[in-house]
Amino acid sequence: MRFLSLFIIIIYTLSFAEAADNPWTGNVNFLLGAKALDEDDWDPIEDHGAFGVFLDFRRKSWPISIAIDSLSSSAEEEVGSNDLEGTTRELGIGIRKIWEFENSSVRPFVGGGLAFIHAEQISRNGFNAVLDDDTGVGIWLGGGVYWTVTPHFNIGMDFRVSGAEAELFNEDVEVGGASFGMLLGYHF
């Protein structure tokens, strides 16, 4: 939630500067998709639904953008009398290269950087619950495409992989994974 507040503040600030020949450009996009985690570490809750907020911005004279991405995923499964739940929350900080072609609304991109991934697993059986969580640091790499269908409205898709290890229930677990989703957002 804190990251969403930061994105809103940045957009609000940049929208005022736009009227005064803003030297900045960028995108704020929401992602709805899926994340696949390592089956050996997460079975039977390895396939997650995912939601993200991705921000990139740069001075118009820069060749690359600064990227700040937030991605949350979760899954639940009932196994016998146990309810299993797994969640991950990623914060990716890095760079993104966006190609802009003259007279084209299609803008492909690639990026990468550091990933801070918090993971949690919960097992519930009636009134009893066992929970463990941890945070790992690793990397993310991704790419996709934006279509700017109006001067400020983006649609597109994003594919990314992330990798980091955390300790859950006294075992090293891969908390990164592969995610894919559709993007909707704002281009400034």
Q: Show the domains of the chain with their CATH numbers.
A: 2-187 (2.40.160.20)
User: Residues 13-26: pLDDT tens digits?
Assistant: 555 545 557 799 99
Q: What is the DSSP string of 96-123?
A: EEE---TT--EEEEEEEEEEEEEEEEEE
Q: Can you list the alpha helix ranges (DSSP code H) found in the chain?
A: 2-18, 39-42
Contact in structure between 39 and 63 (CB atoms under 8 Å)? no
d(CA 100, CA 108): 8
Query: Which class for 31: exposed (0-12), middle (13-18), buried (19 or more C-beta within 10 A)?
Result: buried
User: Residues 117-146: pLDDT tens digits?
Assistant: 999 999 998 889 999 999 999 999 999 999
pTM, to two decimals? 0.85
